[in-house]
Structure 1
Amino acid sequence: MRIIKDADVRKNEILDAAQELFNMNGFDGTTISAIIEKAGIARGTVYYHFKSKEDVLDALIERHCERLLEEAKQIAEDRNIPVMKRLIQTLLAMNGDKDGTPGVLTQQMHRPQNALMHQKTHQTMLEGIPPILMGIIEDGIKEGIFHTPYPYECLEMVVAHVNTVFDDYSDKLTGEALLRRIKAFIFNLERLFGAVPGCFDSVITLFHFENGSEE
């Protein structure tokens, strides 16, 4: 008896197979035929959902962002966690490379030929992150931790800065140069949100920074 699956189920099966192959063989080392074989479905089914291998990658990145934002949202809404700890945990949940090593999706986004995909990811995060963090900042304002009349705008500035300095140029920042930018980032976070000095020091844990000169 032939099993008929929901279209979304089939689509996710294709994406799961593609992600596993991309992780093992890289994007360039994976073919549509390999994805079809791995997923165990008909060629026409793949092309019903995706026009090309690039389209599969685009959908993988979109799904990846959606899952990160949903995980972050669940943490952000847990008011049993103190404000600063909740903020850091929420930001950590948004980091797709949790062990500090860029995954295949991150590597592909940073390739020059995938510039449009990279831009789309940045836009998704710029639109998705501030609303999630807004509740935490508002709680911090109520508790007297933060003092700013522009919480949402400040969050947009922070996300835009992270997208450019710590994402687009991440491969060019190492050692002392990276440390200085992290310290400057923390310095400006305190001023943007009207927080006391040292309030954002734990933000450094987000960067998996290792350097003998760190103070």
Structure 2
Amino acid sequence: MRIIKDAVERKNEILDIAEILFTQKGFDGTSTNEILEAAKIARGTLYYHFKSKEDIMDALIERHSSQLLKASKEISEDTGKTVYERIVDSVVALKMDRNGKEIIEHIHRPQNALMHQKVQRTILNGLTPILAGIIHEGIEQGLFHTPYPYECVEMLVVYASTVFDGDMLDINQQEYASRAQALIFNVERLLGVESGTLSFASQIFKKETEG
């Protein structure tokens, strides 16, 4: 008896299988036929959901971005943590694990510049209000002092997503560390706190460096 699955379930199943193959063999090393064979579906079924292998990768990127932003938002709303803890953990939640390595490499390819831009736009539009909400709480608690919490976070996210992207600027490890310190230094002034108050945020960049 043939098992009939709804469109959403079938689409996610294809994405799950493709992600495993991309992680194991790389995007270029995985053929459409291998995805078909692993998913045990006909070619027509695959093309009903996706136009090409590139379309599958695009869908994986969108799914990952959505999942990461959801996790970030859930952390930001965890009142069991301090404002400072939620700021760091909300940002760290956006970092892909080793299974996302192939996705990151795909995004940074020159021919995928538009997809790269789309991901950056998604992060900017998704992370900014999340962090701004935490900053608002910090203001209410007397931790931060700024009349422009949203704009401050927006500047932070735009700068960070450009300088620490790994593709936009050609900087070495020392320059990376220097820019991280400079960013924290200036964000402290934007938020109206004493120097050293946000030194905890260095965790974000340290984990990025180690990863």
Q: How far 1:174 moved relative to its partner?
A: 2.8
Which residue of the partner structure matches residue 41 of structure 1? 41
Counterpart mapping for 1:59-138 below 5 A: 59-97=59-97, 103-138=101-136
- Aligned pairs for 1:132-211 (under 5 A) are 132-169=130-167, 172-207=170-205, 208=207, 209=209
What RMSD, in angstroms, separates the aligned Cα atoms of the two structures?
1.7
Looking at structure 1, the residues matched to 74 and 167 of structure 2 have their Cα atoms a distance apart, in angstroms, of: 30
Deviation larger for 12-21 or 167-176: 167-176
Q: Aligned-pair distance for 1:134? A: 2.2
Q: List alignment gaps of at least 5 residues for structure 1.
A: 211-215
Q: Could you tell me which residue of structure 2 aligns to residue 29 of structure 1?
A: 29
Cα-to-partner distance string for 1:119-140 (whole Å, 9 max, x where unaligned): 0101111111112222211110
Q: TM-score, normalised by structure 1?
A: 0.91
Deviation at 1:71? 0.6
1:62-114 deviations in whole A, cap 9, x for unaligned? 000000001111111111111001111111111124x7x97111111111011
Instruction: Return the letter of the residue paired with 1:124.
Output: T
- Note if contact 2:108-2:167 (Cα within 8 Å) is conserved in structure 1: no
Q: Number of residues paired by the alignment? A: 208
Where do 5+ consecutive residues of structure 2 fail to align?
none
2: CA distance, partners of 1:131 / 1:18: 32
What fraction of aligned residue pairs are identical, expressed as a percent? 51
Hey, what does 1:213 align to over in structure 2? none
Task: Give the Cα separation in 2 of the matches to 1:103 and 1:188.
Answer: 31
Deviates more, 1:166-175 or 1:198-207: 166-175
Secondary structure of the 2:165 match is: helix
Q: What TM-score results when the alignment is normalised by the length of structure 2?
A: 0.92
Structure 1 outlier segments of 4+, above 4 Å? none
